[in-house]
């Protein structure tokens, strides 16, 4: 059976899927048509039901849950892996840090700060809403363009994800808050960033097979970490090998093999908190592959 499969060109995704799409493992008869897109584009494709299987952010999953369910393998959760809010103004960074620690409301002037962010339905945007709900003056940018927009003065704050967390300091930019760390201190849970979902309409035996081969692909990658190096590099633009593997180490972990009780609990807590705050719609659907 052939399935459409969407994932990002980021090192964590190419690392996870290398063995699966290059038949380094037994795919149990499954074949794939691959679509490479940034996560927000994949989110939008999921809303339209364009892909049978896709990576998406957990925030977006809340808007696609009627049609998709979450596989147990392939997710990105963890501690110290969250998106970061940054600025080129060190004094502004300190001012916002003080406001966050004292749990006070932003002044009107601060609330008008221009924020570059990687997409409405990204988990990063959801976390920003938890920490600074007053920041509404947002400009959607491709994640790789946010640092440049900050340096050019087009935005005042940037919400960065992926490998940019390893490079922003080299460019003279300053951290306001690590939103993953903020989430962890608030909930004592790992932060759910993104997962792999499958259409509910696909036969149950195919969904279970898909989960098995995806888990096998992750396990193969852990056992053979340099096996997919050329494939990963081919999608990583100008990223150095050192940064590539830092990226992988940050986002691919035990939750990528299997969510387990802790991973599922973190996702359920995120959904409940977001629903209680009115960020996402409520659903009666089971989130996870049954």
Detail the residues annotated as belonging to a binding site.
Answer: 55-57, 123-124
State the Cα–Cα distance between residues 218 and 76, nearest whole angstrom: 12
- Long-range CB contacts (< 8 A, 24+ apart) of 89-97? 89/156, 89/174, 90/174, 92/156, 92/157, 92/176, 93/174, 93/175, 93/176, 96/132, 96/176, 96/177, 97/176, 97/177
Please count the other Cβ atoms lying within 10 Å of the Cβ belonging to residue 191.
25
| Catalytic residue chosen out of the listed positions 22, 59, 162, 235 | 162
Please count the other Cβ atoms lying within 10 Å of the Cβ belonging to residue 277.
12
* Residue of 64, 239, 95 lying closest to 177 (CA atoms): 95
Binding-site annotation, residues for substrate:
55-57, 123-124
Q: What one-character-per-residue DSSP string does 208-244 give?
A: HHHHHHHHHHHHHHHHSTTTTHHHHHHTSTT--HHHH
State the Cα–Cα distance between residues 173 and 116, nearest whole angstrom: 14
Q: Is 22 a catalytic residue?
A: no
Active site residues: 162
């Amino acid at each position: 059976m052939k399935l459409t499969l969407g994932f990002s060109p980021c090192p964590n995704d190419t690392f996870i899927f290398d063995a699966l799409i290059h038949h380094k493992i037994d795919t149990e008869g499954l074949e794939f048509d691959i679509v490479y897109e940034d996560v927000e584009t994949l989110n939008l494709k999921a809303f339209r039901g364009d892909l049978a299987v896709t990576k998406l952010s957990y925030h977006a999953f809340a808007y696609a849950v009627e049609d998709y369910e979450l596989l147990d393998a392939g997710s990105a959760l963890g501690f110290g892996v969250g998106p970061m809010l940054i600025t080129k103004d060190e004094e502004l960074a300190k001012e916002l840090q003080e406001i966050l620690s004292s749990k006070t409301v932003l002044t009107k002037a601060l609330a008008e700060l221009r924020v570059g962010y990687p997409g409405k339905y990204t988990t990063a945007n959801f976390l920003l809403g938890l920490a600074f709900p007053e920041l509404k003056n947002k400009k959607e940018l491709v994640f790789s363009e946010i640092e440049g927009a900050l340096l050019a003065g087009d935005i005042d704050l940037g919400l960065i994800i992926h490998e940019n967390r390893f490079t922003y300091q080299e460019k003279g930019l300053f951290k306001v808050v690590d939103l993953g760390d903020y989430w962890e201190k608030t909930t004592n849970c790992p932060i759910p960033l993104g997962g792999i979902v499958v259409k509910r309409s696909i036969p149950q035996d195919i969904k279970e097979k898909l989960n098995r081969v995806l888990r096998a692909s992750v396990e193969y990658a852990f056992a053979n970490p340099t096996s997919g190096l050329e494939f990963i590099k081919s999608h990583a633009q100008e990223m150095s090998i050192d940064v590539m593997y830092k990226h992988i180490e940050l986002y691919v972990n035990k939750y990528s093999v299997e969510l387990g009780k802790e991973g599922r609990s973190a996702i359920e807590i995120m959904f409940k908190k977001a629903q209680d705050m009115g960020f996402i719609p409520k659903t009666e659907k089971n989130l996870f592959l049954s």
